[in-house]
Amino acid sequence: MGKYRIEFDRNVIKSIHPTEQEIPNNDTFLEEHVGDTMWAIIHADSDEQARAKAERLSQNLRSSN
């Protein structure tokens, strides 16, 4: 399973890239938030699965506002 870094701007996906950034063992994803930009790191088996997870996260973020 690979790790992907997703960048969101105002909860809209801007980019998805494979990454080797470390994630805390007790966390399912790492999230940073600066102004209108947020980065998340997720686990996925493929680029397509990473995109699907990112889309779901984006929809959840937009619906919670």
List, for residues 3-62, the tens digit of each pLDDT value: 999 999 999 999 999 999 776 666 555 566 667 888 888 999 999 999 999 999 999 988
Rounded to 5 degrees, φ, ψ at 20 are -115, 10
50: helix, coil or strand? helix
**Structural domain span for residue 38:** 2-63
Number of structural domains the chain divides into: 1
pLDDT for position 44? 94
pTM more than 0.95 = no
Give the DSSP H/E element, type plus range, for residue 61: helix 47-63
* Helix residue ranges per DSSP H, 1-65: 47-63
52: helix, coil or strand? helix
Residue 65 has pLDDT above 80, yes or no: no
Please give the single-letter amino acid code of residue 14.
K
pLDDT for position 32? 64
